[in-house]
């Protein structure tokens, strides 16, 4: 008997390659992904399709003569433990009909009678493989009925804790306790704690989010957990439990990965599309596809909703909700499914509500555009008055229950109505004023709540990466510079186990434990003497030992980042949000940057030659030299307002500098300003200037089914990416929307070519990468027909 950590992949074999590789026909066998086993006619086995979601992780293997010896040899090669042979072992593999149609139907009928939160947890116990239908119906059902005589919340929490207890029992490999016994243990442990151990919503910007993950064979349920809300959820404050986040993953709960010899597309398209178009059911609730945010789509995650009546008695389903989000007809947005989906996605961005803006406090100002070239210097950025900015920060601090108010942000990334972008503090505005530009408007909407996507109250660390190292080295930076920075980074990372101060430095450098203020906790425990950290390196017991183990994990994380991603911290450098020079102070090629970490007593100004870049940097000209003006002169607008932790770009010249950095803009993009002179290139190539691609449009209005088709196409393209690692991009398969895969292949080719990233093939890939980045918004297709297949240099 084999117990698997994840269900197996069911595949069928044929001599024909996947549809997207028809030019690769050879003597190999090719496999197609299936959701269950097939019969002799190639149709799904109904009996196996019914039980596959629940019983695929336990396999009974029949061994014949010589199989055990062969398995021992292979297990030894794979460093697996040797099989313990039992001479009188008897395994009961009789048919018990645990997942018969009758039992599943009875279970479904019972779940439909339960309150939704309770039904969700019972379904999770089944779908996550903790209990079978017979155990739930015969043992758990009466226990739940007894709990429902009291508070439903307590019943839900005990069921959630039951899953923890069962998993602990499975991990200990006892497997002897019955469902009733484990339930009693869970109930006793929960009651003994005298308080729920599960996280709750702490502020108005959070909500309790339940999640469903669909895999090739079934679904997994988790939560609900506290999560940041969005505009759509805040429209229905008393109906959050009708919304659910849905993820699409492989059996191991990781994103789908490309396999050259397996046709995943044939499975993914119908499976995921059917869920998006037809929805799914849990308990007595039917869920239908609602939308997604730009960041969630990249993680193959979307939102579903169960139709409901709000507290006023109004009926809401997915279509009704979308109709209230705004007017998407201007600019032919609704004819492009990708752009239509992206506009809807704007309302699903995770944000914090701050204040309501009165229409009289709005002002629209024109963008600053070059008269010669038409380049926009203010693409995505507006301004906000100091009074209004302070009001926003006061409310954010109150909702976050934080006392860190020492350095208010000078810029916010916002959503308001159909506008998105950044607003920077403008000392010339008095009272409550906010100025927005046409480049910030994406659609018409009535919402007047200023939503905050991000507040930039501290400078961020600048890191090197493989792409940037390749570009800088090709532009004349000696490799010894990178090796020395790497040596220092390794030394600093290894020092994390030496003392609390070194530990704090590493976790802050690599952004570890930020969500629960780990660095602050360690600092306060050490400074107050609550914990004796003397001899920190040798501690292995108590709280000091606990933090020592965390320190070792931090070291492992940092070294892994260095090894696999060349994520090397850069001294004398910072990463800041980009804004425009609203006051016409900077000349062409100049920037202004004041950095102020809350741990510092005074701000610091960056002066002299600096290197500006934006990740990802793929084209040789994606890193440019600029001149930082340093501390502003007397009477300068920057003297009146230092604008800490924002990078101010000039609005003069023929082309906006952000657009020269991988096609950046000012709607929230962050830029690295590198003052470390050893990294400044000897030569700086001209920036890329790609023509705009033509977006995919329909000859009719887009529907939600068109958006569903785009979501499926995006997931498939993200999985397949740039399939061929060939020298010549003209040979590449024509579905190459994945920017990550394109960047990887760009790195491979530039590393093997004498010309580095200036290789003509790399220049082509740079343009394809630029299009791929925008694919999620405009569905610009990269069509490059394959002519023949070149060697696959990275297989294995």
pLDDT confidence of residue 736: 45
Write down the pTM of the prediction: 0.84
pLDDT confidence of residue 379: 93
Q: Which residues of the chain have pLDDT under 50?
A: 20-28, 195, 722-737, 782-796
- For residue range 33-64, list pLDDT tens digits in order: 777 777 776 777 777 777 777 777 777 777 77
Residue showing tokens 């993820």: 247
Asked whether 84 and 119 are in contact (CB, 8 A), the reply is no
Count other C-beta atoms under 10 Å from residue 93's C-beta: 9
Burial class (CB in 10 A: 0-12, 13-18, 19+), 384: buried
3-state secondary structure at position 378: coil
Asked whether 122 and 290 are in contact (CB, 8 A), the reply is no
Asked whether 781 and 713 are in contact (CB, 8 A), the reply is no
Q: Where are the beta strands (DSSP E) in 24-107?
A: 30-34, 58-59
Residues of 456-472 as b/e, b for ≥16 C-beta within 10 angstroms? Answer: bbbbeebbbbbbbbbbb
Specify which residues 649 forms β-bridges with: 580, 591
Domain boundaries, the chain: 101-193, 352-455, 466-566
Closest CA to 410 of 729, 150, 637: 637
pLDDT confidence of residue 731: 39
pLDDT confidence of residue 627: 95
Concatenated DSSP letters of 641-689: ---BTEEEEP--SSS-HHHHTTS--SSS-EEEEE--GGGS-S--PPPP-
Count other C-beta atoms under 10 Å from residue 273's C-beta: 16
pLDDT confidence of residue 174: 62
Contacts of 88 (CB under 8 A, 6+ apart): none
CA separation for the pair 343, 334 (Å, rounded): 9
Asked whether 435 and 584 are in contact (CB, 8 A), the reply is no
Concatenated DSSP letters of 719-755: HH-S----S-GGGS-S----HHHHHHHHHHHHHHSTT
Contacts of 35 (CB under 8 A, 6+ apart): 10, 44, 49, 52, 216, 217, 267, 271
Concatenated DSSP letters of 487-509: HHHHHHHHGGGT-HHHHHHHHHH
pLDDT confidence of residue 199: 58
Closest CA to 577 of 644, 625, 513: 644
Specify which residues 289 forms β-bridges with: 304
Pick the CATH number of 352-455 from 1.25.40, 1.10.8, 2.40.40, 2.60.40: 2.40.40
pLDDT confidence of residue 402: 58
pLDDT confidence of residue 80: 77
Specify which residues 36 forms β-bridges with: none
Contacts of 464 (CB under 8 A, 6+ apart): 482, 485, 566, 567, 568, 570
Q: In angstroms, what is the C-alpha Rg of the chain?
A: 29
Distance of CA 538 to the CA centre of its chain: 37
CA separation for the pair 256, 269 (Å, rounded): 13
As a residue count, the chain comes to: 796
Concatenated DSSP letters of 98-153: TT-HHHHHHHHHHHTTS-HHHHHHHHHHHHTTSS-HHHIIIIIHHHHHHHTTS-HH
pLDDT confidence of residue 318: 93
């Amino acid at each position: 008997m084999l117990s698997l950590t994840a269900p197996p992949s069911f595949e069928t074999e044929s001599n024909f390659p996947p549809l997207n590789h028809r030019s690769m026909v050879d003597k190999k066998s090719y496999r197609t992904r299936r959701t269950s086993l097939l019969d002799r006619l190639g149709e799904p086995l109904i009996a196996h399709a019914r039980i596959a979601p629940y019983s695929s992780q336990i396999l009974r293997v029949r061994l014949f003569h010589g199989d055990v010896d062969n398995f021992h040899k292979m297990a030894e090669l794979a460093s697996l433990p040797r099989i313990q042979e039992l001479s009188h072992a008897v395994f009961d593999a009789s048919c018990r009909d645990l997942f018969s149609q009758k039992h599943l139907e009875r279970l479904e009928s019972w779940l439909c009678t339960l309150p939704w939160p309770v039904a969700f947890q019972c379904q999770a116990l089944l779908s996550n493989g903790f209990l079978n239908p017979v155990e739930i119906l015969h043992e758990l059902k009466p226990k739940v009925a007894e709990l429902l005589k009291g508070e439903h919340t307590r019943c839900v929490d005990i069921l959630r804790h039951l899953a923890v207890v069962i998993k602990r029992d499975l991990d200990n490999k006892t497997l002897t306790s019955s469902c009733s016994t484990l339930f009693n243990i869970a109930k006793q442990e929960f009651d003994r704690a005298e308080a729920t151990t599960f996280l709750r919503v702490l502020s108005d910007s959070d909500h309790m989010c339940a999640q469903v993950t669909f895999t090739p064979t079934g679904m997994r349920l988790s939560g609900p957990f506290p999560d940041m809300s969005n505009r759509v959820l805040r429209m229905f404050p008393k109906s959050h439990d009708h919304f659910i986040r849905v993820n699409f993953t492989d059996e191991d709960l990781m994103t789908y990965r490309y396999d050259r010899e397996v046709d995943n597309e044939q499975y993914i398209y119908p499976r995921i599309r059917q869920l998006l178009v037809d929805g799914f059911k849990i308990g007595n609730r039917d869920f239908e596809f609602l939308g997604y945010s730009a960041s969630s789509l990249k993680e193959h995650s979307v939102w579903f909703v169960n139709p409901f009546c709000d507290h006023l008695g109004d009926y809401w389903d997915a279509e009704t909700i979308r109709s209230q989000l705004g007017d998407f007809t201007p600019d032919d947005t609704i004819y492009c499914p990708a752009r239509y989906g992206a506009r809807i996605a704007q309302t699903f961005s995770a944000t914090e509500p701050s204040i309501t803006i009165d229409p009289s406090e709005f002002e629209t100002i024109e963008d600053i555009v070059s008269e010669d070239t038409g380049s926009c210097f203010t693409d995505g950025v507006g301004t906000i008055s100091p009074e209004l900015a302070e009001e926003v920060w006061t409310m954010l601090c109150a909702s976050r229950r934080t006392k860190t108010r020492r350095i208010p942000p000078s810029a916010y990334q916002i959503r308001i109505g159909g506008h998105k972008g950044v607003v920077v503090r403008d000392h010339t505005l008095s009272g409550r004023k906010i100025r927005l530009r046409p480049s910030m408007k994406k659609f018409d909407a009535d919402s007047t709540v200023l939503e905050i996507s991000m507040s930039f109250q501290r400078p961020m660390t600048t890191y090197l990466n493989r792409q940037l190292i390749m570009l800088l080295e090709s532009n004349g930076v000696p490799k010894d510079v990178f090796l020395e920075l790497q040596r220092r980074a390794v030394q600093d990372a290894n020092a994390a186990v030496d003392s609390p101060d070194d530990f704090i430095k590493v976790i802050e450098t690599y952004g570890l434990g930020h969500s629960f203020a780990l660095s602050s906790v360690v600092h306060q425990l050490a400074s107050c003497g609550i914990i004796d950290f003397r001899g920190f390196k040798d501690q292995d017991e108590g709280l000091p030992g606990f933090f020592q183990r965390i320190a070792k994990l931090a070291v492992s994380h940092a070294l892994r980042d260095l090894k696999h991603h060349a994520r090397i911290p850069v001294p004398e450098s910072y990463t800041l949000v980009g804004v425009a020079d609203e006051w016409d102070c900077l000349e062409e090629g100049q920037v202004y940057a004041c950095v102020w970490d809350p741990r510092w007593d005074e701000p610091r100004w960056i002066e002299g030659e600096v290197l500006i870049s934006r990740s990802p940097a793929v084209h040789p000209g994606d890193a440019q030299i600029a001149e930082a003006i340093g501390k502003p002169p007397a009477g300068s607008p920057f003297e009146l307002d230092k604008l800490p932790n924002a990078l101010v770009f000039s609005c003069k010249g023929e082309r906006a500098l952000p657009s020269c950095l991988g096609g950046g803009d000012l709607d929230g993009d962050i830029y690295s300003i590198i003052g470390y002179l050893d990294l400044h290139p000897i030569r700086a190539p001209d920036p890329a200037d790609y023509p705009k691609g033509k977006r995919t449009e329909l000859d009719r209005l887009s529907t939600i089914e068109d958006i569903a088709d785009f979501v499926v196409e995006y997931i498939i393209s993200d999985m397949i990416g740039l399939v061929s690692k060939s020298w010549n991009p003209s040979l590449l398969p024509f579905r190459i929307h994945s920017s990550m895969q394109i960047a990887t292949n760009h790195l491979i080719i530039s590393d093997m070519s004498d010309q580095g990233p200036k290789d003509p093939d790399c220049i082509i890939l740079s343009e394809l990468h630029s299009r791929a980045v925008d694919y999620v918004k405009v569905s610009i297709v990269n069509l490059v027909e394959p002519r023949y297949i070149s060697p696959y240099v990275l297989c294995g």
